[in-house]
Amino acid sequence: MDLQELADQLSDELGRPATVFDADDRPLASSDGASAPVRDHVDIPVRDSTRQLATFRLVADGRPPLGASDYAMLDAAAGIARVLLAEDSSSTAAGTREESMRLLLDDDPRTRRAAFADAVSRRWIERGGRTVVRAIIIDNGVGRLRRATFARHIAAATPAHSTVIRDHDSVLYLVTRDGRSGVDLDAWIREESVRFDVTVAGIGSAHLDPLATDLGDAAEQARVAADLSAALPDLLPGSSIDELGGWVMLHAVTADSRRLSDISPAAELLYRASDPLQRETIETYLDAGGHARAACEKLHIHRTTLYYRLDNMPPVVRDALDDGMKRSTLHLALKLARLWEATGAI
């Protein structure tokens, strides 16, 4: 995003023309209609820790006063503008907590490590498992300004001590100090997203390794968990990377349907079978750990029916069920196929 896009999005969100002026009152960017003469306008200053950087000028002629949600949007726009203006100047605009925390997931590893050491020394975050990184996947149709407004609200109102540290590739990264409050933070985030008209596709989390020197690995693990959460919301045991087990391994396998036949010929046959009942039966049976009673309850069939189906499976499938390694591989390969289907990879 640049200043022109920011002015356009601000105008669209607030329903009034907007102009961004620099510190000397020179226009930097204007939305459609902002250049027309107006009798009344509202100026919102944009400041860093030491000085005024810019001003948002909003047309007020004949329009209702700005409300609380509008000012929340302007606050988010000011945060974006500070970053953009810092990038366009020789100043780094460093020093505030927000600016320093943003560097925790910088693309440069050295910058990440320095920011991490600084944040730990200032007690903004702490080493070890009480620090949790969350990745929140936002629908691509949500504009950056609305995402930023939602992110600031999450950081300010969350039941846990939290800070948004990056908005990158439609993913919000949030670092939280686990206070054991008993609040389901993921559920709360989803509830708040509805209020802000922000579509959350998936949420994942990862605890910080006590030996970690930055947040990079935890953020990547949280992103993997969020990807899985978005793809398979009804199948996962939870949203934390620690709860996902074999799904994490499957996520790392490059999508290629031809690999199914190499991994498990039985899975490949069931995946391509014209009768989906065979695949459902085997997958449910394996999910139940081979316990007929549990499988029958999930399939809503009699035990005799289950045994009939198993006895009439293709030979390659029956052979896999009779061999420990092949049976485990068949189970994982069926889950791999399900993951690829959910993500559109095959």
Give the domain extent around 289.
253-343
Residue 94, pLDDT > 50, answer no
CA distance 133 to 115: 15
CA distance 26 to 30: 11
Residues 239 and 190 in one domain: yes
What's the pTM value of the predicted model, to 2 decimals? 0.80
Last residue of a domain, one of 249, 279, 296: 249
> pLDDT value at position 88?
59
Residues 109 and 210 in one domain: yes
| Residue pair 215/105 in contact by the 8 Å Cβ criterion | yes
| pLDDT band, very low/low/confident/very high, at 93 (cuts 50, 70, 90) | very low
Q: Which residue has the higher pLDDT, 69 or 50?
A: 69
Of 70-84, 152-166, 211-225, 246-260, minimum mean pLDDT range: 246-260
Mean pLDDT of 126-139: 90
Size of the chain in residues: 346
* pLDDT, tens digit (0-9, with 9 covering 90-100), for 1-49: 889 999 999 999 998 899 999 888 898 999 887 666 666 888 899 987 7
Two tokens, residue 258:
């031809």
Domain count for the chain: 3
Residue in 190, 97, 180, 100 with CA at minimum distance from that of residue 137: 190
Question: Which strands sit side by side in the sheet containing 131-138, from one edge to the other?
Answer: 161-168, 171-177, 131-138, 200-207
Last residue of a domain, one of 87, 119, 139: 87
Percent of the chain, pLDDT > 90? Answer: 52
**Cβ-based neighbour number of residue 215 at 10 Å:** 26
Residues 274 and 230 in one domain: no
Residue in 228, 227, 244, 212 with CA at minimum distance from that of residue 130: 212
**Element containing residue 312 per DSSP (H, E):** none
| pLDDT band, very low/low/confident/very high, at 92 (cuts 50, 70, 90) | very low
In order, the DSSP letters of 215-277 are SHHHHHHHHHHHHHHHH-TTT-S-SBGGGTTHHHHHHTSPP-THHHHHH-HHHHHHHH-S-HH
**Element containing residue 199 per DSSP (H, E):** none
CA distance 187 to 182: 12
Residue 193 within a domain:
yes
In order, the DSSP letters of 104-172 are GG-SSHHHHHHHHHHHHHTTSS-SSTTEEEEEEEEPTTS-HHHHHHHHHHHHHH-SSEEEEEEEETTEE
The CA-based dihedral angle spanning residues 92, 97, 99, 104, taken in that order and rounded to the nearest 10 degrees: 110
Residue 92 within a domain:
no
Residues 244 and 108 in one domain: yes
Residues 117 and 212 in one domain: yes
Residues 46 and 126 in one domain: no
> pLDDT value at position 91?
47
Residues 42 and 149 in one domain: no
| Residue pair 225/250 in contact by the 8 Å Cβ criterion | no
| Residue pair 229/202 in contact by the 8 Å Cβ criterion | yes
Residue 325 within a domain:
yes
Last residue of a domain, one of 216, 249, 282: 249
CA distance 237 to 269: 27
> pLDDT value at position 173?
95
Q: Which residue has the higher pLDDT, 155 or 300?
A: 300
In angstroms, the first-to-last Cα distance of the chain is 33
Residues 188 and 262 in one domain: no
**Cβ-based neighbour number of residue 49 at 10 Å:** 12
| pLDDT band, very low/low/confident/very high, at 181 (cuts 50, 70, 90) | low
Residues 140 and 68 in one domain: no
